[in-house]
Amino acid sequence: MAPVRTRFAPSPTGHLHIGGVRTALFNWLYARHHGGQFILRIDDTDQQRHVEEALKPILEGFRWLGLDWDEGPEVGGPYAPYFQSQRTQRYQAAVERLLERGYAYRDFSRPEEIQAEREAAEKAGVPFRYSRRWMAETEAQAERFASEGRTAVVRLKMPSEGVCRFEDLVRGPMEFAWAQEQDHVIQRADGSCLYHLANVVDDYDFQISHVIRAVEHLSNTPRQIFIAQGLDLPIPRYAHLPYVAEPGSQSKLSKRKLKKYLKHPDFRKLYEHGAHILERLGRTIDEETFQPVLVEFYRAVGYLPEAILNYVLLLGWSLDDKTEFFTRQAMIESFSLERVNKSPASFDPVKLWSFQQHYMNELTLEEKWEIVRPFLEEVGWVDTPPTLEQRQRTEAVLRAAGDRIKTGGDILDFPEFYVADAELAYDEKALKKRLGDPESQQRLAEFAEVLAQLEPFDAPHIETAMKEWVQERGIGLGKIIHAVRVAVTGRGVGLGMFEALEILGKATTLARIEQALAKVGAAQRPA
């Protein structure tokens, strides 16, 4: 049996769409499952500008996700080049062959003439089909049209009867009437070729065995089969995946509708969490790339590739009625096209988030450190590279934070462990609530004395000391713990109080209590 070879063919737009990731993943899984090859081909037939630059984020996205390609940009391969813009001579040869075999013709019509025919058909209420009025099948005809100042494109000469049949690996038997097809242009007057032609030629040249792509391409399939037939090429197997839909809708997910999606509460939450992290980093938000529809978003915020992959895997595919989590190996082993759904699946930000939580919790402390580290370095809370002390402190924070840190960027929500006392920001509301009255201030001052005497200054001892202290006074723990928290961390919420104090150490703790007391004391005096 011929080896399984699949491909993903991004056009270098600069972005990797979440739906694209899903398509790429399925192609990758299918190839890996069958021990075949996964090829990356760049569909830049139309791109005259900055392919390199636009390609970079896409390839980085692939690398980040761990979807390695066997052939394609950077790695090359036996069928190089893998850029369509560099394969024009192949397409030219194909066009000539199609012309010779009568599967295509030179057409000297002007665009506005086609447009007129199209409009006339619409007006008459009949389906449009080009009259072939400016079709030139002989040199004499061509010369005559050319003498009128016309230039020629090459069109497919589609059959007017019969049906195109093929078996779709996801959808089953498909049937399209040839008469429905248009005489599509495959080559422009300037000699450049169009996508469908290039696509078929390349799929053959690269020996692609399975074309796994989004269902948007389903209706393009007959014309591609026609081209393949005209070229006398074998037809690959086709599998058309349902598209990924908008959250809470059945419409196709688009990267152009950020504003609309932000009206969806769950989507908005996902976005705002990410925007918050970027803000902490002091980066400006580029709306072009920073949106939860694109993988760049997730990388920037510190999501785990495993979470993204596992989530999109289940968008249109399932193994059975209970398996939710798949390691890379498990994905490869269990993936099959037979279990791909036919109906679109809508993108659910909340579910994605839950996968992220799951995988984050599976990380060891060392792994979490690596996820969090770039954020700390960027914001300058640790050196580049970090010192051993900084790393140990961060690991202590990570340990104490537990599952509170859900993405790499979430570490930025804990400035209290990194900034100097004087730079600690206080949440005014929390400060007022917990230290607004003289009694609580008094209690805090008294408890500070206890802390000052405490040795060793670690979480268990602090806890014991505080519990004994409140017991002596016959008051609840809540009367003091919140005051200490806000005084030392500046906030009303955070990780475990006792661990927090231990990480910060006695000196910092006492200094911050003093600082907080001064702050509320000053606030109480009229100016």
Phi, psi (rounded to 5 degrees) for 189? -60, -30
Cis ω on the peptide bond leading into residue 385 (within 30° of 0)?
A: yes
- 310 CB contacts (<8 Å, ≥6 apart)? 325, 326, 331, 355, 359
Q: Say if CB 513 and CB 507 are below 8 A apart.
A: no
Task: Select 138 or 343, whichever has its Cβ closest to RNA.
Answer: 343
Give the dihedral sign, CA 296/299/301/307.
Answer: positive
The length of the chain, given as a count of residues: 527
> In the bound complex, what is the minimum distance in angstroms from residue 383's beta carbon to RNA?
28
| Nearest residue to 226 via CA among 200, 205, 252 | 200
Give dist(CA 447, CA 53) in Å, integer.
60
Q: How many helices (H) and strands (E) does the chain have?
A: 20, 12
Shortest Å, Cβ 313 to RNA = 9
Shortest distance (Å) from residue 151 CB to RNA: 7
Cβ nearer to RNA, comparing 46 with 383:
46
Is the separation of the CB atoms in 306 and 371 below 8 Å? no
Which residues on neighbouring strands pair with residue 210, listed in sequence order? 6, 237
Q: 243 near 253, Cβ under 8 Å?
A: yes
CB of 402 to RNA, least distance (A): 6
- Tokens encoding 130: 């080009």
String of b and e for 173-191 (b: at least 16 CB within 10 Å)?
ebebeeeebebbbbbeeee
Nearer of residues 32 and 196 to RNA, judged by Cβ: 196
- Pick from 8, 61, 17, 57: nearest CA to 246: 17
Nearer to RNA, 98 or 314 (CB): 314
**Three-class SS state of 106:** strand
255 is catalytic: yes
Select from 19, 9, 11 the least CA-distant residue to 344.
Answer: 19
Q: Which is nearer to RNA, 139 or 403 (CB)?
A: 403
State the minimum distance, in angstroms, from the CB of residue 53 to RNA: 17
Catalytic residue of the set 157, 255, 368, 406: 255
Using the minimum distance from each CB to RNA, give the nearer residue, 232 or 338. Answer: 338
Q: Say which DSSP state 13 is in.
A: S
Closest CB to RNA among residues 64, 195: 195
CB of 385 to RNA, least distance (A): 30
Question: Measured on CA atoms in the order 113, 115, 116, 117, is the torsion positive or negative?
Answer: positive
Q: In the complex, what is the shortest distance from the CB of residue 159 to RNA, in angstroms, rounded to a whole number?
A: 15
Q: Would you please indicate which residues are annotated as catalytic (active-site) residues?
A: 255
